[in-house]
Chain A
Amino acid sequence: MAEERRFLSASGVPIALRRRQHSASCRELAVRGPRLQLRSLSAATSAVWLAAYGLFALSENSMVLSAAIFITLIGLIIYLHFVKIDQESLLVIGSLGIQVTSSYASGKESTTFIEMGQVKDVVINEAIHMQKVIYYLCILLQDPEDPQGISEVVPLFQSSKPRLDCLIEVYKSCQEILEQRKTAPQSS
């Protein structure tokens, strides 16, 4: 069962949240950002090439033009492979753990798995980020020595930065699965 809803990110771009329930204790939540727009790509390319042509008109050195083409190509490849994240997904499996995947525009996927024994809770935290206060979802990891302590905070959905309404949906879905930990018999 899959459903998709539209939301806004913290900076105002439209994002889509897709929820899939694989079984009673397994849920997948994916947040998709907008694809790379043709108009922003052509605007950036034209700006760089106009600046390079201006430099060429000033300096009469034709290497400037070839350098500009080279920079544009390499910059686009680096942007697609390392910066532009298309989809971030969260897979919560009740007794096993939580898997966080980021898919880049070039097709690269980077995955992190956190096993359920280390997960203390999934909460919505608010913090100061670059002159704004934003809500963000994060996984709190358990401190092995102190049962009440928190050893690490893993922030989720860092590049799509959904707003509070989307985060509440994700939070409720995660809590439904995490609550089953308490009612189910503990087995180590």
Chain B
Amino acid sequence: MDPKLTEVAQMFARFKAAYSRNDLDACVTLLSQLKVHLTKFPSLPPLFQQTPNAVEELKLARDIYEHAVVLSVKLEDQDAFERDFCQLKPYYMDACGIIPPSPEEYPILGLNLLRLLVQNRIAEFHTELELLPVKALEHPCIKHAVELEQSFMEGAYNRVLSARQAVPHETYVYFMDLLAKTVRDEIAGCSEKGYDSLSISDAKQMLMFSSDQELHQYITEEHPEWEIKNGCVFFQKAKESQPCKEIPSLQLINQTLSYARELERIV
């Protein structure tokens, strides 16, 4: 076996050990070293050179990135998650002809879908979904994300919240917690459009807060333009602040005049 590959494999073993010890700091340092080492393998994307050890190297690299993704969930670091997932993707998408599919593939894809849902990036969510083969949709992890999105779109927010109990994988919990916040933002947006005002108790119920205090805190943090007055929340201000569209008359007049002038010049 190639000495470089052995070295990386050993380092990866140490990483796994640290991971199982839950020594996250060690994990992060080891991981960044691993990534640097991986850049030295020409068989990995984007080059895909056919070296004798290509299959092993690809498998190892995929394994490393899978762990990196899971680690980032554990660290609750969304940016790192996105980074690592992007780097992992070519192993699923482009290298599928060379190495056998990974058992972790669908859970991680599902996780990514969930993340997009949490970040309310619905367009990208659907783009990712389109890239998946039909049979992947049957997988519980994917199915979970798809159902969540459907409920989310329908406005069946209670179903979204209740789905937290039925997560298919332990890493999903972190995102399900975040989803509640996304749902609340969605509701807040809708009520702003739908109502001129709401009584505090209704608003509390609508936004799923248990106490008035939480509601007040939420409003001051997220929607300072809302007004609380006479026991009601007023959304009026937000609507007014929208700029009304004005006809650019002066510009139009200028344009028309210049056309007229040009026309006169035409021979």
Tell me if chain B binds chain A. no
